[in-house]
Amino acid sequence: MESRIQYYKNMIILTSFKESKRILKIVPDIDIFSVSRWQPLKYHYDELDFFGAFDIHGEKLRLKGSSISKYKHKLFMYFVTRRQDINDWLISLDNDRHIMLCCWCPDSTTTRQQIRKYGNFVCHTGLIGKVINRFRPDIDLLLDKDRHKWLIEDYKPKKYKVI
């Protein structure tokens, strides 16, 4: 895996907090950010709050009680309200920079229940990957094995590699 990592000039890894510890051992010169609404106690990553799962009113966005497509639409509408922050961040990314974006999935209780019941899960990091694919196609996007295997197809970015 290490040789593959050195190949990528500018990459973003989408992963879980738990998996971030393993990846950090392989890629120690990586910038790590939380894209979750809150982090587990032992993690102190900088936050990119404009990628959090919120609706256009800034309220927590939850899949529970909503269809998968409505959740996706509401999250993208929130991204529109944060367009300037997202755009500024995407523009700031330069070559030779490695970034990891972390979320709870698939380690949260809710996500594990989704996997048991449906054989897949919904995570907003996949939709963040779609945004990155669209506006920064020059960046290599990597999904952890859990996202590659269990993230629902509609949420997977079109172009990615597996770490």
What pLDDT, on a 0 to 100 scale, did the predictor assign at position 35?
97
Indicate the pLDDT class of residue 3, thresholds 50, 70 and 90.
very low
Rounded to whole angstroms, the Cα distance separating 13 from 17 reads: 12
**Span 131-145, mean pLDDT?**
96
Q: Is the pLDDT of residue 1 over 70?
A: no
What pLDDT, on a 0 to 100 scale, did the predictor assign at position 5?
59
CA atoms within 13 A on the CB side of 158: 7
Summarize pLDDT for 53-110 with one digit per residue, the tens.
999 998 998 887 778 999 999 999 999 999 999 999 999 998 778 999 999 999 999 8
What pLDDT, on a 0 to 100 scale, did the predictor assign at position 123?
95
Token digits for 87?
């755009």
- pTM summary value: 0.92
Q: Is the pLDDT of residue 116 over 80?
A: yes
Buried residues in 125-149 as b, exposed as e (16+ CB within 10 A): bbbbbbbbbeeeeebbbbbbebbee
Summarize pLDDT for 5-27 with one digit per residue, the tens.
555 778 999 999 999 999 999 88
**What are the structural domain ranges in the chain?**
2-162
